[in-house]
A and B are shown apart, each in its own frame.
Chain A
Amino acid sequence: MRLLATVVGGAVCGALVFGVWPEMWKSYGIMGGWLAATIVIGICWYMNHWVGMIWNEPGRIWVDQGWAVSSSGIVWAVVRFHSEFAQCLPTLICCLIGGGLAGVLAAKVKKHHPSFNRNAGVPAESREPVCMK
Chain B
Amino acid sequence: MYEMMSHYAGAIGMPPVSILTTVFGAFCVAFTVIICWGRLVEDFGAIGGMMAAAFIIGTFWVLNHKLPGFGINPELIPHPDGGSKQFGLIYQGFRGAAPWVDMGTAIAAGMWVCGLCETARGGRLWAAAESGPRVLATVLGGAIGGAMVGLIGWTGANLFGYK
**Given contacts A37-B61, A87-B99, A92-B105, are A101 and B27 in contact (CB under 8 A)?**
yes
Question: Told that A64-B138, A102-B114 touch, could you supply 18 new A-B pairs with CB distance under 8 A?
Answer: A7-B140, A14-B144, A25-B70, A27-B70, A33-B58, A34-B54, A54-B138, A75-B99, A75-B146, A75-B147, A87-B98, A91-B93, A98-B27, A98-B30, A102-B26, A102-B28, A103-B111, A107-B114
Q: Looking at the complex, which one of A16, A26, A61, A131 makes contact with B41 (CB distance below 8 Å)?
A: A131
Q: Looking at the complex, which one of B94, B130, B142 makes contact with A71 (CB distance below 8 Å)?
A: B142
Interface size class of B (residues with CB under 8 A): 35 or more
Most buried by B among A17, A30, A34, A75: A75
Question: What 0/1 pattern do residues 95 to 107 of B give for CB contact below 8 A with A?
Answer: 0011111111111
Least CB distance from B93 to A in Å reads 5
Q: Is the CB of B13 within 8 A of A99?
A: no
Q: Is the CB of A66 within 8 A of B93?
A: no
Least CB distance from A6 to B in Å reads 4
Across-interface contacts of B14 in A (CB, < 8 A):
90-91, 94
**Given contacts A29-B72, A62-B115, are A95 and B65 in contact (CB under 8 A)?**
no
Q: Is the CB of A73 within 8 A of B61?
A: no
Q: Is the CB of B112 within 8 A of A34?
A: no
Is B76's beta carbon under 8 Å from chain A?
no
Which B residues lie at the A interface, using CB under 8 A? Answer: 12-14, 18-19, 22-31, 34-35, 38, 41-42, 46, 49-50, 52-54, 57-59, 61-62, 65-67, 69-72, 90-94, 97-119, 127-128, 130-131, 133-135, 137-154
Q: Is the CB of A42 within 8 A of B112?
A: no
A66 to B144, CA, bound (A): 15
The 3 closest A-B pairs by CB, nearest first: A10-B141, A98-B26, A103-B113
